[in-house]
Every structure is written in C-alpha cells, then in structure tokens.
Chain A
C-alpha cells in the first residue's frame, strides 16, 4: 500500500500501525503530485489518501489514480468526520473513507470489505 499525507510524523505513525496489522507499506508520498508519480511507479493495491493535501485535493488525486488505473482500492482519510464529505463520497462510489481518529488496521480492513 501507499500512504499519502503531508505530515511525516503521521505517515510514520500510520506505517507502524498498519505494518503491525500485517499490511505491507510499499511507499509514502507527501503531496498529490508525488502520490500520482509514486502510484504509477509502485502500483500499490491500496492507496491511503489524505483529503487535505498542500497541492491537490484528495478527491482530485483519487480521480486521477482511477483514470490512470494504477490502484485497485483507494481509501480517503481526513481529520474531519465523514459527514463533511458525504455528498462527494456518494458521487464517487468506488472510494472508501476513514476519519483519522478511527484509523486502525481493523477499520482499514473493514473499509476494504
């Protein structure tokens, strides 16, 4: 999987958390542009994508990844709760969402179905 977030501390924490839950983290990216490049190169099965990135909006990055066909599952994360993004998530049925406060290996597994 690929972790996309602009805070290195968060990426490190999430990497530790998910590796402990037996996910294999193949790469990290700090913004939308880096995420698109890394995804094309690494072909991750899962992309964990923060919505508030310094350059692109997480939804825009997700759309690009879907068009490029480089990933099988995209999970958006944000500090805000799901209600802030309900409408945009409904418009993109292929995307899952986990709020940062609930992020864990089980939550990710559940989101991926």
Chain B
C-alpha cells in the first residue's frame, strides 16, 4: 500500500474515533458505534479501491466521503458534507469521471448543497436533489451499452438507494417519523452502497468496461488527446510513456520523435511490451503498481495494438523525415563545398600553369628569339597543366569507373595508395550511382587510412548478399574513426543513405578500423 493511502486510512480512523468520542461519548454508545462503522466502511472501501483500481477515481472519492463523514460527526456545520462526494461517486461510477453534462450539474449542486447546512437541512430542497440524482443516474445508464452498461447497473442501484434514503429522510421528518429509525436506515443504506460499489469495482467486469471505453475512445478521431493521454487515462497512470520502436536502430522514441529511455529495475517503473505480428512495436513505460492488475494492463495493451502500430509508423516517419531533412541540407552543403574545392584546385593547378605558359610565350615574342630553354620550359608547363587537369577530372569522376566498372577502378585506386591494399571479391555491374557511391566510399576510406590510421596494410572486399551489395574496407591501424567526425565519412554516409543503404564504421576488438557500406540492389535495378 502506498504511504499516502495508508496515511489517509490511519489518520481517518484515528480522527473518526476521536470524533465519535467527543460527539457521543458514553451517552449513546450504540449510535457512536454505528456512526463509526459507516465512516470506517467508507474509508476502508475507499482507500482499498484507490489502491487496487488506480485507473478509477471512485476510491479517492469514497475516501473523501469517509473523511467528511467523520468531519460531520465532529463539527455540526459539516454534518451533510459527505453527501457531495457520495453523489459524485454514484454518478461517476465506475471511472470516477463525469461523462454527462447533467451529471456534472447535479454533482456541482450536490456539493454546494452539502457544504451549506441551511440548504441541506431544507427538506423540500433535499427532495429536489434526490430526484435530480435519480434522474441523472438513469440518464447515465441509458447512455451506456455492452460491458459499460453492466458496470452502470450497480451505479444506478447505488444512486437510487442514496436518492431514496435522502427522500425518505425528508418525507419522514415532515411526517414526524421516528428520528432513530430514519438515522439507522440512513446508516445501513450508506454502508451497503459503499460495499456494493467496492465489491463490484473489484470484479473482473471492470477490465472489460475500461477496454471497451478505450476502444470507443480510440475510434473517435475528432478527439484531440494524444494516444499517450488516452492510454494514460484508461490505465489511470498519468506518468505513462509510450515508446515506439524505431526498427532501424532498435531504440524507442515518443510521439514527437524524442528518445525514450527504458527504466532500470528498482526505479518503480515497469515496461509492458506491445507486439504486432510477433514483432515488438512499442513499449508502455508505467508505474509498477499497474502490475497488480496484469489482466487490465494486457487487455489495454492488446486493445491499443492497432492504434499503437499506427502511431509507431507515424513516429518512425517523423524520425525519418527529420533525418532526411538533415541529410538533404548536408548534401546541398557538401555539394557547395565540393564546388569550392574544385574551383580552388583548378585555380592553383592547371590555371596557374597556363598563366606560366602565356607569360613564357609573351617573353619569347618580346625577345624575338625563342631559344631551346624557352621551348623546354613551355613543354614542361604544358605537360604539368595537362597532368593537373587529368588529376582534377579524376577527382570529379574517375574515368576508370565509367570505362571499366567498379572492380578495375578499385584496383587502380589500390595501386595508387601509399600502403599495400588488397582488393577482393567480384560483383556484377550495378547502377552507376551505386558504383560511384562505393568507389567514393573506398577512396575516402583509403584516404583516411593513409592520413590517420598509421596502418601497414588495408583491404577492400566487395560481395553480394541477399539482395545487398556490401563493401568492407579494413585496415590494421590504430582505429578510432567514426562517421560523426569530420565531413568526409558523414558526406559518404549521406550519399549511401540517399541510395537507401547504410554506412557504418566499426572498431573491431583486435584493432584497426572497418568501414562497411551496404546498398540494396533490386533485381530490376541491375545495369
């Protein structure tokens, strides 16, 4: 039992004993015992229901009725106060929430009446109130169907009994009936209705009512509440979190796409899995107290499956959309950076060489004597310019790739590397964009190996596997690379992801770095 429930129960009982002693003392022990018994029944049933049916507010309301009952015993002006929460219980059973406007008005009126002794002691007003309670209870019953109606029947019985005993009191006083008899009847009816509702609340039917309510609720698209809010309401756990599984990473996100951390054991939070077609699609992270009613939890999880599957797709789509936007931005930026780099390369390379050629020609013309050394200088500069243009073109798009295909281009790439690189595997020709992506992944990975890895050997392996083409670049260097570092690998990851593939960088336990790119090749995509 929670500390709050226990405190309410024990302090309520203690206060009740003191109130009975002070009000009745030894003068009327029978009445004191009966009065104490009714207050205790309300308190015990209320606190127990509160503990065991957290999804319902009825327990809390009934506890409040018990406390106000004793308050009325202790202080004359509060004598009728318990009627407010009792009417509230009868009209809001089983959830403890008022669904109908009429019920809300009647309950509000009952609280006002109960809090004002002058109104509550007016017999005519009491008759009006009891009629209103009966009417509202009938209205609630008529508004239900299926399992919800089964739960509404005891509510109607309790409401009619309470309305009846209020009316009986009012009429009885007017007719001059025995005050003692009326009081005893009132006590018996209130204790009975508390027990009736408590017993009913503890029975299985409740699960069905909640689940039916939830199913109806989930089918109401015009309601603005989120799925999380609806499930939290159905389970009576405001702290409930729904975590949707992101299949690509196996992590969980909430409806807005923010990451959800699963609780550790002993944190007072528990996880219930929601599965669809044998796959986990989401988790409910909830208060461990909900485990007390596993059946309810599982029924709610089952009822919410389709809605959760939907929301999981939406959450995933949101995550993907965010990633996509991010990667589109990076692709544009990397395109710009690439163009700037190429422009710079052209200027400091081929263009400067051609400037030299032009200056040499100008000199030759002005001196009017083209000697052997000038011609040699001119030829050298032209050669350099040609070489730099070729290197530049290779950087834009490797000629070997379009002419011979991926594997020969990779072998040429390996030959030019500063460390020995072994190229393994064979694959059929694949779309050009995919070949280019693999080529640039390998080229960038080898550049990284040469720059950072301090490796003595590297290898490139390509293979086809279940509709995917995989390229793995491994070295025996110091490791420590990651796609988050530097723009090179990140840009390549974007390129690979844009083709529906994935790039990952692994650091095997025995050292070195392993870059793996995989891109799915549909049969129809074969070049």
A residues at B contact (CB < 8 Å): 7, 9-10, 12-14, 16-17, 20-21, 52, 79-80, 100-101, 103-105
Contacts and interface: CB of A to CB of B under 8 A. Distances in A.
A21 B363 contact: no
Contacts, number: 50
B224 interface: no
Contact of A13 (B348, B352, B363): B363
B355 interface: yes
Interface string B299-317: 0000000000000000000
B358 interface: yes
B360 A104 contact: no
Dominant secondary structure at the B interface: helix
Contacts of A9: 356, 360, 377, 380-381
Contacts of A104: 362, 366
Contacts of A103: 359, 362
Contacts of B359: 10, 13-14, 17, 100, 103
Given A52-B347, A79-B347, A79-B351, A10 B356 contact: yes
B367 interface: yes
A6 to B, nearest CB: 9
Contacts of B356: 7, 9-10, 13
Interface string B448-466: 0000000000000000000
Interface string B374-411: 10010011000000000000000000000000000000
Contact of A16 (B347, B348, B367, B381): B367
A80 to B, nearest CB: 8
8 contacts: A7-B355, A10-B356, A13-B356, A17-B366, A79-B347, A100-B358, A100-B359, A101-B358
Nearest to B358: A101
Given A9-B377, A52-B347, A100 B366 contact: no
A94 B46 CA distance: 95
Nearest to B346: A79
Given A7-B352, A16-B366, 14 more contacts: A10-B352, A10-B356, A13-B356, A13-B360, A13-B362, A16-B363, A16-B367, A17-B362, A52-B348, A79-B352, A79-B355, A100-B359, A101-B358, A103-B362
Residue from the set A7, A13, A16, A52 with the largest chain B CB neighbour count within 10 Å:
A13
Nearest to B369: A20
B59 to A, nearest CB: 78
Contacts of B377: 9, 12-13
A20 B352 contact: no
Given A9-B381, A12-B377, A79-B347, A101 B355 contact: yes
Given A9-B377, A9-B381, A79-B347, A20 B363 contact: yes
Residue from the set B356, B360, B367, B374 with the largest chain A CB neighbour count within 10 Å:
B356
Contacts of A10: 352, 355-356, 359
- 5 closest residue pairs by CB, A with B: A13-B359, A16-B363, A20-B366, A17-B363, A13-B360
A81 B150 CA distance: 90
Interface in B336-352: 347-348, 351-352
A47 B468 CA distance: 62
Contacts of A20: 363, 366-367
Contacts of A13: 356, 359-360, 362-363, 377
A17 B348 CA distance: 22
A20 B360 CA distance: 12
A9 B362 CA distance: 13
Nearest to B348: A52
A77 to B, nearest CB: 9
B366 A105 contact: yes
B351 to A, nearest CB: 5
B137 to A, nearest CB: 85
A103 B347 CA distance: 18
Contact of B363 (A14, A79, A100): A14
Contacts of A101: 355, 358
A14 B364 CA distance: 10
Contacts of B381: 9
Contacts of B374: 16
A13 B348 CA distance: 18
Given A7-B352, A9-B381, A52-B348, A21 B358 contact: no
A80 B352 CA distance: 10
A52 B123 CA distance: 103
Contacts of A21: 366
A61 B351 CA distance: 23
Contacts of A52: 347-348
A13 B362 CA distance: 8
Nearest to B368: A20
Contacts of B380: 9
B359 to A, nearest CB: 4
A16 B363 CA distance: 6
A100 B359 CA distance: 8
Contacts of B366: 16-17, 20-21, 104-105
Nearest to A99: B355
A96 to B, nearest CB: 18
A54 to B, nearest CB: 9
Nearest to A13: B359
Contacts of B351: 79
Contacts of A12: 377
A103 B351 CA distance: 15
A68 B347 CA distance: 31
Contacts of B360: 9, 13
